[in-house]
Structure 1
Amino acid sequence: MRIMVVEDEELLRDGLIKMIGRMSLNGSVVAIAGNGEDALEQLSHVGVDLIITDIRMPRMDGLQLLEEVQRLNLDIRSIILSGYDDFEYAKRALKLNCKDYLLKPVMFQDLYELLSKIEAEFIAMQTKMIEEVKLKGILNQNQSLIRHEFLRTFIQLEKMLQIEARLAEAETIGVYLQASCYSIIAVQIEEKPEKKRNYGKNGWMLMKYALHNIVEELTSYMPCYYDEHEVLIVLHAGIADEEELNVLGNRIAMKSRELLKITVSIGISEKHDLYHLSLGYGQATRVLKYRLISDQPIIEFHSQVSRYTNHLIKPHMDQLAELFDLDHADTAIKQLKEWYEALKAAELSLGSLEVMEQEVRVVFHSLLRHFVKELGDREYDLGAEIGIMETADSFYARMNPLLNVLKAISSDSKKGFIENCTSKQVMKYIREHYNENINLTSISEFIYMNPAYLSVMFKKKAGKSIIEYLTEVRMGEAKKLLLNMELKTYEIAEMVGYNDAAYFSTLFKKYSGVSPLEYRTINIRR
């Protein structure tokens, strides 16, 4: 169960979300809004089963929101929250498919019991719908396949004699093509490869059948079928204008989200008579290419995109080619995102966009391999990433493998920079404090880093351990001091950080090959 919380007071909204999160429900909060207007905007692209909304909110209150939901025929249940014990509010809310009316402050147990009840009803409704779809599918499977095959072949016919001969055949199988003109509507399921994997073969067929039923009902059972690319094609009869068709497209999209939890993009052709349905089919399916340059699912008309006349794709391809020469991952990320934004605003013609899709495919593959090489020994699943580039719905989604690699490079670069800076900071600290009682623990506390991690990181960068470097600095300073004949060995030991003169002498000989006195004698003679 997908829940939307609409509340203008942030603390109350967050508290409500956390309260729902603690409940053992088969669902979660998928959308939040601060007023009715924000909620309506989100409902245009987010599937929701239940709205929990406050009454008193700025711009659009809770009851106005529910009135809009009812006007749009959205099958969404609701719960009203209010600090006002007003019976008139309750009566009005109950007429708007509101399941209940709760007073603030909301009690955990009250809300839990209500949500559990709604969840049980929701699960029962879904189970019933699935069973009905299965039963209907079994009963009508053969007839449906016959109709689909007929429409698939009929829409490709162009010769008048063939069409006239097959119209009579159409009525015998329940396909009625008597209108003077048709708009072709192409409904494309988003994230299809992932959905097919998740559903499995049988589940995917059932889902497609359910979508077919939804579209049939919303179009008053106008002829529809799946083409070879599993795009649902609808022959919409009549003279409906673009505004009416846009409303229909939105209803198809919303019902798909509400009942099937899928998103769809929709392409709509211009109007054609029976003899030119193949032209309409081409228009509707080609329009879906504009999903490549949209961040959200689209409802697009061929009559609109046919006005785009920009054929210049070379500047966009040149901008992509420049990425091969960039030295910094962050710069490449920025330029890649700028390329996409410029492409969205370019208003490319349909033909140019189709050509560009093929060219971008090749360049994206080359860029991916180029950037992966920059990661050195890092293992990277190119097969999975190339699969995303081949099938994702938009250029932005196809860019994700590139962005992921670039972010990994950037992260590694920043990590290396931090490690270099930390190593230099450790060395500086040792040179300034070598004469004090310092060790790995005290140095790590100064750097604010775990001692074990600091030790490994420093040795990786410096080629020696911190203690080895500390000893090296101390011995170097001791050699300088030994040239001063007035200083005793124990004094020099203390001056370079050793309280035990004997230990200092032993360490010095191990480091230099001679004792402190021998070193002094040898070097003073020189």
Structure 2
Amino acid sequence: MNILIVDDEAQIRRWFETLLQRTGLDINVAGACGNGKEALEFCREHPVDLVITDIKMPVMDGLQLIRQLVERQPGVRSLILSSYDEFKYASEALKLGASEYILKAEVTVDGLREVIGKLQAQMAVERRREDEVHSLKSRLNENRYALRAIYFKELLKGQPAAMREFRDKMIWLDVPLSDKHPMLMTVSLDDYPSCLSEAKIRTPELLESAILNILDETVRGETGGGCSFLYEENLFVVACNADGFGGKSIRDKSLRCAHRLSNNLREFLRVPASVGISEPYPDLSALGRQLGEGMEALRRQRFYGKRNIVWFPDTKLTGFGEPSQTAYAIVSDIAYYVETGSYDEALRALHACMDNDLRAGELSESGFKAFGLELLYTVLQKVRKLDPQSETLARYQSFSPAEELNRLRTFEEVKAWLAGQVAELLREAKRLRPPYSEPIRQAFRYLAASYAEDISLQQVADHVHLNKTYLSELFKKETGISFNDYLTDVRIGKAKELIRAGEARMGALAELVGYPNASYFTKVFKKATGMTPLEYKMSANK
């Protein structure tokens, strides 16, 4: 117990401090003041449990001090030092809220011990009651939050009974929320594990309750209603009505509300949080979709390493959720490099696209992972043609790339994983790819120089001085593909280069790469790449 002695006579203050020390009680004389004003200032700046004060003092007397303490610091007890002729004042002090009074002329160590001991016991009982009330309130709050979460989860699943009971449930749960024009905001703490160690409240259960309390108060202050609930670990959902924003656009108002939610969590609990905002819908039937919108908005920003407040409609960009034509063009290019043995070029192309085209955030998390799987399986298929029995490739029979990708949470993690997988496959391709014989190398050089002409297998056989049938068999054995397929790959690869460089008109392109007419060239190009030349040009120019 911390005690403050207040009397205008220094000698009495010292005498009383001596008496207190002789009681043997677990007390601490925190200070001594000469009047009530000084005592008030001391109590504001220091922890004080009991003020022992004289009544008659200059500046501010004991009665005024007690009145001020009751109003400003009701947790501080007071004990009056009274003379016989001051009893009426002592009586008034008790009415004001003083805990006890003692007569100066009759103060003894034993008497003082008894009075203060009694006050200590009373304060201990009150503290226990306060703890019990606080504990009961906490349990009630926990139950209230739990019941609220159970009901809203049923509502999000579209349970008919939950829909019908909405208005009655809102009354029962004491939630000011209408079934018209609902909106959802998803709230998630950034860097959750480290967040727990830096928050003002370190116990997860208590932190969750504090977060829900702040979210409730903030959304009601901004919209006049609404509530929050815990959907799953580190994912809180705030429900409100778009009607509550009024005035400016719903987007601007909801963004302001989301920023308040995030700022209040940071200010009061020292936890950083991101918020995803759904679109408003006319009624409760789209709540499940709204939850998906909020979660997707959060995932998209988090995946690319951003911490933000996200309005879901702002994420509706080209290619949202699925790999775009640009992504498929990249897969086609890399497949071509692998087939022709240009492994270093394949790896450079992969890094370039992930550092530039895809890093811009055109794809959602699921879209980028789908691109990664498409690329990995395409490269794997090309490498398997070199040796289907390769021990290195055999691990893919039990290895699930999709499961690996699902465990990755950010663009950088997926990028590093994908680059590592492709690099390993390309190293295996280098090891498996046999050195070409001189006739095949001569054939390569001839085709590279003459691809724009009307080349036949017989012409190449004559050039390398081999029988046509033998050359065909040797070519297939060493390269893994037929002569005609290789020539097609060379011509299509050159066509891609010309399209990307913009050096040829689309009408003249067929002739430049050895095809008799544009119609046939377009047919071959689409079969090889999955796109027409014009579609490839458009995707390459994005």
TM-score (norm 1): 0.40
Larger Rg: 2
TM-score (norm 2): 0.39
